[in-house]
Structure 1
Amino acid sequence: MSVADRPSKFSPCSPKIHQIKWDTSLQNPATRKLVNESHAIFLTLQKIATEVKDNALKEQLVKISRRYRSVLSACVENLQNDADSAHDGEIKNEYILQSELFYKLELIWNLCEILFIDIKPGGVILCQLLEWIRLHFTEGDRKMEVVLEQENPWEQQEAWDAVFCFVFQGRTEDARKLLQTHPNSSRDDFSSMDELLRKMPFYQSVTTCSLTEFKLRWHHWQDECVRRLQDGEFAAVDGLEATCKILCGDWEMFQELSELCETWYHLMVSRLLYTDPTVKAHDLFSIAQECTTMFDSVNQMTHLDNTLLAAMEFDLQQVIRECGLYLDSWWFVAHLTDLLHHGGQLDLQQLSYSKNLREFQLIDYASSLMTHQR
């Protein structure tokens, strides 16, 4: 018997064709709607990129980015509604996990929009970061709703925790309104705190106030906070004293109340608000590293944490790599890479293969879509 005539060691084998299919989170009605709506946004972007140039293109890219975030947020809401209406425990849990995933995607996309798309003149970034954490962290509102339902809300620690949450996010008007419900709100120490919160300056690049003028105003305001704290104006009420220490940028008080910030990046933005309100985008990474250490999260960093850190380090290649590692579909990296490519950000990082990178992500995303049954 010749070698060619010998039976294969693998025989007998089943004459079946096996279809290889990626696991993907884009296979239910809520996420398929995301695919369809984002496709229309993608086509609009390709048209705009060929017709609009320079500053007008930048404005359009910001609008496109916000449209992407809008459909992401709608997807999260739809998945949460599906989870609420699901009767099967396993299906309900799947919807919850998917809603958490797309929530994180919107969080990452929002930060990338701030750092790489909606770049403000002068590079001062804090106001945008404040909007970022206000949108994604609403614990202060929840605590306020709970305590105001109580007969004696200020007997609850959560009342002061709500005040701290608002102050951490620069929501001084909300903190003032809540403090005005305190039975001693007309007393001098409460009036003094109300004045400090009311006068707290915020920098807006669109205002006529120059950066130098703002810095002078801000340092003058914080010096006043320090003086009143040292004079003991708030010594009679622990909550007022703690609030003033936050305004003074007291790092020990930030550490003591860090749990109210929930994450290291919330803590980072809150700390910057009271220590360096004119921080530039390129200074974020070193401060972020300090806050991860303070949160003791260095040894348990998640893919989300690593992605946010990579964005703050302006390492887009690592952002894309991290997202590819923990996502089971190419939707996010394909659309984000396309947007960054049209914004010239990949070229700015001297990625000579930026065009090929974009095409690679789009092809993989299209291939994953082709595995869908419908």
Structure 2
Amino acid sequence: MDVDKVPELEIPDKLSTRDGICLAGNFITNSKLSFSAFRNITRQTKDVPSPYANKEDVKVFHLQPNFIFDDPILRTLIGEANGIFVTLQELQKDGNKQDYVKISRTYRSIIRACLEKLQEAVDTSEEYQNFITILYSIECIWHLSEILFIDPIPSNVVTPQLLEWTRFHFPAAERNATDLLLHGRDADESEEYWPSVKGLILQGQIDVARAILQLHSMSESNAFKMAEQILKSMPSYNIYGGLSVQKFRSQWQYWLTDTERKLSTGIFATEPDLEEIIYIIIGNTQTWNKFIKQSQNWYELFPGFLFFTDPACKSFELGTLAQCWINRWANIKDFAHSNFMKHLDKVILYLLESDIHKVLHSIQQIGDNQWFVTHLTDLLYNCGQLELIGENKLTDCEDFRLSLLFDFGSTLMARDSIWLLGINYLEQCGLEGEGAVKTLLSRIPVKNEKQALKVIEIAQGRGYIEVEHEICKIFAKRSMALGRPGNALDWAIRSKDTTYVTSITDFFLEVSFLF
């Protein structure tokens, strides 16, 4: 998905191409634009009739983005997310201590479930491929946000979590490894054997790679035994292991020097693939450049490179390290910076730079009707991470969250089938949200009396008497137009509109007088 490429839309209005006439647009709602021909008149303009009056048709064009949640599969996502959102607000209101990581993972789980459904049905609709791209980007960004902001490690050492993120979003090596383990002792006969082992190593999955190396027919040779010893003795930093970063780095340097010495003996000369693996784990520049050239995304190998070159790096160092890696990646791939940094690439960089402001600004451009930015912002706000935005930190981040909730709730209430969900978002927006609910409830396109009673029930539950009366008046007039005066009288009485009750009563009296 590349939202940097702005789509062009031609509006077929001939009148706006005439001399002195242009095409002007105005917002009708936060997501709908109205365009029409416009003649700019100032106080210097002569007061004469337009030469195009009564000659050209004046057309009004309404433009708005597609609402992707009208699709039945995506409808389940918005419904389940609404339930999680409501639960979070209720728990916050009660003052209970929250497990924000659990809530974040629940959000991600419903995204993954929706992705699976879309992948199963992708052959039935071309649009589903676009939905898959959107949801994949959302889940990828959300997962990294969870690691860096919602579930931060006390020591700020994030490489193990970044490796987990890479494995999750680039699962090919792990899938191939599963197949190889099922093959048993003849696994090395597969063409995917060495690519799979190297893919696992590049992702820091040392233990799985060792298990597959044990399946090789030459696993008892000196070269394989030496490789096993090197991989097994490789230091691994654990924040709960009681080892300081300085002590770990000292052990790492000793292991690295010892590995380079063993490599220089030429013991791996007869096994070039095994030798390349050792070059990977010592961070050999030439070897890594080879795999960088084969990679598709700049962030695909970045966590693995950190694992073998700076495994104890801190989260605040990621921005600088990522920028250096991007420059290297672009040079090796022979890309201009603007040619490969697409939307998802940029958002991931902003996350690694801990620039939440840019992250939230960027994800508003994802074509998901603001679902993602609204829910992620709300979660980050509730766990205290939005205080990084703005000068007046608390006020700014709260206003930003409320504006997203207001816009998203208003958008949902404009949809016939899911208007009820929008109320839950607007109710978090104070008096402004309450006013919007009152206004929008009375504008819901009610098609029958059953729907009307549902809206009235919602209005009564919130004490919106004016809304109830307005809907009753509408149905009273509708019943009269359909020739059902008795039903109209019932609605009129419920509306508490004495004038309208009187007029309907007079109608009954006139009819009875005729008979």
Greater CA drift, 35-44 or 341-350: 341-350
> Is contact 1:76-1:100 (8 Å) kept?
no
1: CA distance, partners of 2:370 / 2:156? 31
Equivalent pairs counted in the alignment come to 361
1:73 is matched with which residue: 112, 117, 135? 112
Residue 348 (str. 1) matches residue 392 (str. 2): no
The aligned residue for residue 287 of structure 1 is: 321
Distance, in Å, in 2 between the alignment partners of 1:4 and 1:299 is 51
Which amino acid in the other structure matches residue 412 of structure 2? L
Cα RMSD (Å)? 2.8
Q: Contact 2:374–2:401 (CA<8 Å) still a contact in 1?
A: yes
Q: 8 Å contact 2:186–2:217 — kept in the other structure?
A: no
Greater relative contact order (Cα 8 A, min sep 6): structure 1 or 2? 1
Aligned to 1:207, what secondary structure does the other structure show?
A: coil
1:240 has 2:279 as partner: no
Q: Which of 42, 49, 59 is the equivalent residue of 2:85?
A: 42
- Contact 1:264–1:292 (CA under 8 A) maintained in structure 2: yes
Distance verdict in 2 for CA 1:200–1:102, change over 3 Å:
same
Aligned pairs for 1:65-104 within 5 A: 65-84=104-123, 86=124, 91=125, 93-104=126-137
Instruction: Give yes or no for the alignment of 1:303 onto 2:343.
Output: yes
Q: Partners of 2:48 and 2:321 in 1: how far apart?
A: 68
Provide the TM-score with structure 2 as the length reference: 0.64
The equivalent of 2:365 in structure 1 is 325
Q: Name the structure 1 match of 2:67.
A: 24
Question: 1:20 deviation in Å?
Answer: 5.6
Alpha-carbon distance, 1:99 to partner: 1.3
Please say which of residues 279-288 and 219-228 is displaced more in the overlay.
219-228
Output the CA distance in 1 between the equivalents of 2:185 and 2:215.
12
Query: CA 1:52/1:96 → structure 2, altered by over 3 Å: closer, same or farther?
Result: same
Residue 256 of structure 2 is aligned to residue 222 of structure 1? yes
Q: Confirm or deny: 8 A CA contact 1:268 1:287 kept in the other structure.
A: no
For residues 137 and 183 of structure 2, what CA distance do their matches in structure 1 show? 31
Aligned residue in 2 for 1:201: 235
Name the amino acid aligned to 1:247: I
Quick check: 1:133 aligned with 2:166? yes
Deviation at 1:306, TM superposition (A): 0.9
Per-residue CA deviations over 1:65-122 (Å, capped at 9, x if unaligned) read 11111111111111111115x2xxxx1x211221121011100001111111111111
Q: For the residues of structure 2 that align with 1:131 and 1:282, how far apart are their CA atoms?
A: 19
Question: Is 1:249 paired with 2:293?
Answer: no
**Which structure has the larger Rg over C-alpha atoms?**
2
Looking at structure 1, the residues matched to 184 and 53 of structure 2 have their Cα atoms a distance apart, in angstroms, of: 77
Q: Distance in 2 between matches of 1:180 and 1:308?
A: 36
Cα offsets for 1:306-341 (capped at 9, x unmatched): 111111121111111111123241000000111111
Tell me the CA shift for residue 13 of structure 1: 6.1
1: distance between equivalents of 2:203 and 2:360? 29
Does the aligned pair in 2 maintain the 1:38–1:68 contact within 8 Å?
Answer: yes
Q: Structure 2 vs 1, CA of residues 204 and 11 (structure 1 numbering), >3 Å: closer, same or farther?
A: farther
Which residue, out of 265, 280, 295, partners 2:299?
A: 265
Shift of 1:209: 3.1
2:204 paired residue number: 170
Alpha-carbon distance between aligned partners in 2 of 1:15 and 1:303, rounded to the nearest angstrom = 36
Deviation string 1:332-362 (CA, Å, 9 cap, x unpaired) is: 0000111111122221344531111111111
Question: Which protein has the bigger helix share?
Answer: 1
Q: Could you say what secondary structure the match of 1:121 adopts? A: coil
Amino acid corresponding to residue 232 of structure 2 in structure 1: R
- Partner residue in 1 for 2:356: 316
Change (3 A) 1:48 1:201: farther
| Structure 1 residue 273 displacement after superposition | 0.5
Which is further off, 223-232 or 197-206?
197-206
Q: Residues 113-165 of structure 1: CA distance to partner in whole angstroms, max 9, x if unpaired?
A: 11111111111111110110011111213444677879976466532111111
Match of 2:405 in 1: 362
In the TM superposition, residue 219 of structure 1 has moved relative to its aligned partner by 2.4
Distance 1:181 1:61 in 2: 42
Partner of 1:120: 153
Rate the CA distance shift 1:208–1:355 in 2: closer, same or farther, 3 A: same
Residue 9 in structure 1 maps to residue 42 in structure 2: no
Whole-angstrom distance in 2 between the partners of 1:263 and 1:304: 10
- Which amino acid is 2:103 matched to? I
Report the counterpart of residue 338 of structure 1 in structure 2.
378
Return the offset for 1:19: 6.7
Moved more, 320-329 or 237-246: 320-329
The whole-number CA distance in structure 1 between the counterparts of 2:274 and 2:262 is: 11
SS of residue in 1 equivalent to 2:312 = coil
User: SS at 2:301's partner residue?
Assistant: helix
| Alignment CA distance shift 1:163-1:40 (3 Å) | same
Aligned AA (1:114): I
Question: CA separation of 1:206/1:50 partners in 2, compared to 1, >3 Å: closer, same or farther?
Answer: farther
Aligned partners of 1:116 and 1:126: how far apart in 2?
Answer: 14
**Structure 1 residues 52 and 249 mapped into 2: Cα distance closer, same or farther (>3 Å)?**
farther
> Which protein has the bigger strand share?
2
The alpha-carbon distance between structure 1 residues 152 and 122, as it changes in their structure 2 partners (threshold 3 A), is: closer
Query: Does the Cα contact within 8 Å between 2:84 and 2:107 map onto a contact in 1?
Result: yes
Deviation at 1:47, TM superposition (A): 2.2
What is the percent sequence identity of the aligned residues?
33
Q: Say if 2:186 and 2:215, in contact at 8 Å, map to a contact too.
A: no
